[in-house]
């Protein structure tokens, strides 16, 4: 029997609040007055009874027509109330859940005590990109997953909102316009090349520069920030935040060279042999989109999420009339995949004027790798979720343009190697969704360029650079980190790797 | 001069819509090999990144030569720049270099603006000790480019025009077929030009078993493998022109699919090119007003 597949989940289960920012702030003010009246001294049971502070968001109906940031950020009162929910556990399970071991308990305590300067200083001892991580980290599966408050209330969504607090103090500092430029030690006479300018690379550049080494960042694009610029959309991570971080590096004396593709403009070996770099960090990311390998995938109107998002974000195609880079006029869009990138692509398509956006995922919502918050936001904005469906082939007209996508229905079978229940196709369940655009967001392989042009550098079967826990590769003086090592992962994991590689580089140079 | 200062050092109009420019790009000039290309952009904030082939390079002077045709918004804006102006971005050299070796007799076919990328490849095959025959095709006499430069090193040059205003009145496939019929047959053929020309070159050499290399120019955003916008079907497999190419076995390329993909943004491009010209007209009017004051 044919399935029509029109399981419209959008609009049916809106769980996020649409309470106005003003109202949320008023409620927080009242609670804060109580807390302050007690001099901030509360019993654990009192802390657990403080309501979790909701993030004020732009109205879904409005925001699907603009590219402004969706989450508006806590007010001062909300931040202090949320921070007051923290039980200040002695064993700090949250810190163990953080890939870069932020002193979470202590910075949260500083926020509750109204000392935002101290809070941000504590964070910056461990993390260089708090405004970014506060926005895009999957806190619900890291620090907040092990939060005692969430466990006591038997709901991970009720954990202390560590990410939102991190974002709050990072934004607070940026708005003070007095963010101090990190101190740089006297010149060491050593030169370090950083390849790529995503999160891992920016962290390496900062940490190595602080030790007084001469640092040059090489970026293939004309702007710096890597996936934070071309991939993550403005409505989730404003570009101004990324460029502020880049400007801090510039102020520290890091040299930034755009339009330079290591492997082509210069080989990695030549950077060391001819240009005299004493160490090289490779942070080139996961830059080769996977396709489904199904019929019709090269039709006009089929894009990788990378292409679609790069046109929209980095090339600013969303500013129609100003940007020279064209983007498809999509009306009915199918997005294939269930990760954060799929959500970004679907929500970008809505903002660029699509009437209908379908998200096609072959498992169920439970198995989706995307963050819960992103899924909820996508639903609120009107993305239609087709779960347990998968693309079989893409249909086109005689001009080679997409006219529809044929999908197959699935059911969940036994758990597979990943521990998730494997989707099994239901024979004869094909149905066609009429669409004019298909965006493939099923992940990235690793870019082959460095591999092809760097003899002696060891890669694994998946094309990722092989290195030890400190980022040391098979080549002397060459280090690596981020998605080129991890496969497609997260900003915070990339940053953590950058930190360890930078420490290893600094250690090596201090002994040289 | 700063190596990332992409100044225009020289500019010459070759025909009505075709321009030659030398650009300061010392890294690219030092590293580029025949067959490779660049991506350039004329505006830092809102510019588009377009792939262009490298027609020549001078490593000592730190410059590369590009030859381009005014077809869309970016090439229109580029054609309006003058010596001393700067490009916003030049990235390269991109793509796999041509595999150059001594094979015997090589026929290089260049159509229209495709003669520009063919020039360094033909030169390299000649330097490798091959007998070199070049077929240059264009719509008319004014659109034949680099003829003197190529005559300087090729063993034989055959010019073809659609209207017979220069050389033979023929399509490039006519002399190509004649060469394939001669014994011994050419050992290798290379075709660079409009996709339809490359497609017919493939059909011309196929019955004679003469190998054909083609160099493709597709739509790209980053040029480094990240976007996949440049993908083509070659021998039933999807390939990325930017990292797997730009050169492929011409007998295996799905040219029909590629031509459809090249049309993907035609409506948007025409709209933007028109807007670009309108913008220029407004600027000119503004400039005139200022001068009158």
pLDDT digits (tens, 9 = 90+) for A461-473: 989 999 999 999 9
Q: Which residue of A has its CA nearest to B37?
A: A264
Q: Does A365 touch chain B (CB under 8 A)?
A: no
Which pTM was predicted?
A: 0.90
Res. B293: pLDDT tops 50 = no
Helix (H) / strand (E) containing A348: helix A340-351
Q: Which residue of A has its CA nearest to B90?
A: A259
Average pLDDT, chain A: 91
Instruction: Return the closest-CA partner of residue A49 out of A154, A155, A153.
Output: A153
Poorest-pLDDT segment among A160-169, A312-321, B140-149, B150-159:
A312-321
Give B219-231 as a DSSP string: --SSSSSSS-TTE
Instruction: Return the closest-CA partner of residue B159 out of B146, B149, B171, B168.
Output: B168
Distances from the Cα of A396 to the Cα of A31, A77, A299, B69, angstroms: 59, 55, 7, 31
3-state secondary structure (DSSP) of residue A125: coil
Q: Which residues, numbered 400 to 419 in chain A, qualify as contacts with chain B under a Cβ-Cβ cut-off of 8 Å?
A: 400-401
pLDDT band at A507 (very low <50, low <70, confident <90, very high): very high
CATH architecture group of domain B8-94: Beta Barrel (2.40)
Tell me how far apart the alpha carbons of residues A250 and A131 are, in angstroms, rounded to a whole number: 18
Taking contacts as CB-CB distances below 8 angstroms, the residues of chain A near B74 are 324
Please compute the mean of the pLDDT values over residues B100-128 and round it to a whole number.
Answer: 95
Please compute the mean of the pLDDT values over residues A9-21 and round it to a whole number.
Answer: 56
**B105-264: CATH number:** 3.40.50.80
Phi, psi of A49 (to 5 degrees): -90, -5
Res. A23: pLDDT tops 80 = yes
Poorest-pLDDT segment among A63-72, A435-444, A485-494, B208-217:
A485-494
Q: What is the pLDDT of residue B283?
A: 53
pLDDT-above-90 percentage for chain A: 75
Are the C-beta atoms of A437 and A404 separated by less than 8 Å?
Answer: no
Please compute the mean of the pLDDT values over residues B129-134 and round it to a whole number.
Answer: 97
Please compute the mean of the pLDDT values over residues B83-110 and round it to a whole number.
Answer: 95
Are the C-beta atoms of A20 and A73 separated by less than 8 Å?
Answer: no
Instruction: Return the closest-CA partner of residue B107 out of B9, B3, B227, B250.
Output: B250
pLDDT band at B168 (very low <50, low <70, confident <90, very high): very high
Q: What is the pLDDT of residue B288?
A: 59
Please compute the mean of the pLDDT values over residues A327-348 and round it to a whole number.
Answer: 94
Contact: B272, A303; criterion CB under 8 Å? no
pLDDT band at A58 (very low <50, low <70, confident <90, very high): very high
Q: What is the pLDDT of residue B292?
A: 54
A300, A311, A319 member nearest B260 (Cβ): A300
Q: What is the pLDDT of residue A14?
A: 39
Q: What is the pLDDT of residue B291?
A: 53
Res. A381: pLDDT tops 70 = yes
Q: Does A294 touch chain B (CB under 8 A)?
A: no
Taking contacts as CB-CB distances below 8 angstroms, the residues of chain B near A341 are none
Taking contacts as CB-CB distances below 8 angstroms, the residues of chain B near A261 are 91-92, 94, 224
Please compute the mean of the pLDDT values over residues B264-285 and round it to a whole number.
Answer: 65
Tell me how far apart the alpha carbons of residues B51 and A512 are, in angstroms, rounded to a whole number: 43
Res. A223: pLDDT tops 60 = yes
Query: Distance (Å) from the C-alpha of residue B149 to the closest C-alpha of chain A?
Result: 27
Q: Taking each helix axis as running N to C, give the angle between helix A116-124 and helix A162-175, from 0 to 180 degrees, rounded to the nearest 10.
A: 110
Q: What is the pLDDT of residue A99?
A: 86
Q: What is the pLDDT of residue A12?
A: 39
Contact: B272, A324; criterion CB under 8 Å? yes
Indicate the domain borders of chain B: 8-94, 105-264
Phi, psi of B29 (to 5 degrees): -60, -35
Q: What is the pLDDT of residue A10?
A: 38
Q: Do domains B8-94 and B105-264 have the same CATH topology?
A: no
Poorest-pLDDT segment among A342-351, B122-131, B261-270:
B261-270
Taking contacts as CB-CB distances below 8 angstroms, the residues of chain B near A258 are 4, 89
């Amino acid at each position: 029997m044919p399935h029509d597949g029109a399981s419209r989940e959008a609009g049916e289960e809106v769980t996020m609040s649409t309470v106005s920012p003003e109202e949320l702030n008023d409620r927080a003010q009242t609670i804060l007055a109580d807390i302050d009246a007690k001099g901030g001294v509360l019993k654990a049971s009192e802390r657990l009874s403080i309501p979790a502070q909701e993030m004020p968001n732009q109205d879904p109906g409005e925001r699907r027509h603009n590219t402004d940031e969706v989450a508006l950020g806590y007010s001062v009162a909300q931040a202090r109330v949320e921070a007051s929910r923290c039980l200040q556990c002695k064993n700090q399970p949250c810190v163990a859940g953080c890939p870069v071991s932020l002193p979470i308990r202590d910075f949260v305590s500083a926020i509750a005590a109204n000392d935002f300067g101290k809070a941000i200083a504590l964070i910056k001892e461990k993390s260089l990109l708090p405004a970014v991580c506060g926005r895009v980290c999957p806190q619900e599966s890291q620090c907040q997953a092990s939060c005692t408050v969430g466990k006591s209330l038997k709901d991970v969504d009720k954990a202390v909102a560590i990410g939102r607090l991190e974002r709050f103090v990072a934004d607070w500092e940026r708005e003070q316009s007095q963010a101090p430029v990190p101190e740089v030690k006297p010149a060491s006479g050593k030169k370090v090349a950083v390849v790529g300018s995503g999160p891992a690379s920016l962290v390496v550049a900062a940490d190595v520069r602080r030790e007084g080494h001469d640092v040059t960042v090489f970026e293939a694009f004309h702007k710096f920030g890597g996936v934070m610029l071309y991939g993550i959309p403005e409505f989730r991570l404003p570009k101004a935040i990324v460029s502020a971080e880049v400007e801090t590096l510039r102020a520290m004396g890091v040299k930034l060279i755009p339009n330079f593709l290591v492997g082509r403009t210069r080989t990695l070996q030549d950077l060391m042999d001819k240009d005299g770099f004493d160490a090289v960090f490779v942070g080139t990311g996961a830059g080769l989109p996977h396709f489904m390998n199904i019929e019709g995938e090269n039709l006009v109107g089929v894009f990788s999420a990378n292409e679609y998002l790069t046109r929209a974000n980095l090339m600013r195609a969303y500013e129609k009339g100003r940007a020279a880079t064209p983007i498809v006029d999509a009306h009915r869009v199918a997005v294939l995949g269930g990760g954060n990138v799929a959500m970004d692509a679907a929500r970008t398509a809505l903002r660029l004027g699509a009437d209908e956006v379908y998200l096609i995922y072959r498992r169920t919502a439970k198995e989706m790798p995307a963050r819960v918050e992103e899924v909820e936001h996508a639903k609120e904005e009107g993305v239609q979720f087709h779960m347990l469906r998968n693309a079989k082939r893409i249909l086109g007209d005689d001009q080679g343009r997409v006219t529809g996508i044929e999908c197959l229905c699935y059911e969940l079978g036994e758990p597979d190697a990943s521990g998730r229940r494997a989707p099994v196709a239901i024979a004869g369940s094909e149905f066609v969704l009429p669409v004019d655009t298909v965006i493939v967001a099923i992940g990235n392989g690793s870019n082959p360029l460095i591999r092809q042009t760097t003899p002696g550098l060891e890669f694994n079967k998946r094309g990722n650079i092989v290195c030890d826990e400190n980022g040391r590769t098979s080549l002397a003086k060459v280090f690596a980190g981020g998605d080129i090592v991890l496969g497609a992962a997260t900003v915070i994991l990339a940053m953590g790797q950058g930190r360890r590689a930078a420490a290893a580089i600094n250690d090596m140079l201090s002994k040289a | 001069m700063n190596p990332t200062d992409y100044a225009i050092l020289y500019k010459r109009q070759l025909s009505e819509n075709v321009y030659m420019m030398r650009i300061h790009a010392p890294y690219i000039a030092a590293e580029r090999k025949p067959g490779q290309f660049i991506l350039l952009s004329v505006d830092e904030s809102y510019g588009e990144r377009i792939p262009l082939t490298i027609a020549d390079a001078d490593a000592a002077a730190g410059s590369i030569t590009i030859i381009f045709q005014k077809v869309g918004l970016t090439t229109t804006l580029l054609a309006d720049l003058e010596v001393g102006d700067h490009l916003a971005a030049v990235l390269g050299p991109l793509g796999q270099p041509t595999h150059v070796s001594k094979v015997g007799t090589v026929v290089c076919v260049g159509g229209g603006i495709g003669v520009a990328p063919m020039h360094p490849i033909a030169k390299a095959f000649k330097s490798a000790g091959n007998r070199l025959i070049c077929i240059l095709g264009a719509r008319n006499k004014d659109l034949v480019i680099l003829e003197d430069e190529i005559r300087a090193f090729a063993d034989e040059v055959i010019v073809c025009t659609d209207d017979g205003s220069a050389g033979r009145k023929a399509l490039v496939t006519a002399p190509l077929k004649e060469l394939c019929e001669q014994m011994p047959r050419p050992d290798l053929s290379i075709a660079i030009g409009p996709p339809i020309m490359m497609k017919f070159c493939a059909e011309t050499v196929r019955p004679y078993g003469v190998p054909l290399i083609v160099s493709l120019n597709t739509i790209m955003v980053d040029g480094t493998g990240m976007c996949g916008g440049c993908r083509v079907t070659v021998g039933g497999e999807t390939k990325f022109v930017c990292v797997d190419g730009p050169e492929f076995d011409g007998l295996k390329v799905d040219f029909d699919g590629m031509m459809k993909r090249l049309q993907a943004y035609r409506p948007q491009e025409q709209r933007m090119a028109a807007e670009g010209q309108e913008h220029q007209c407004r600027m000119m009017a503004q400039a005139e007003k200022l001068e009158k004051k």
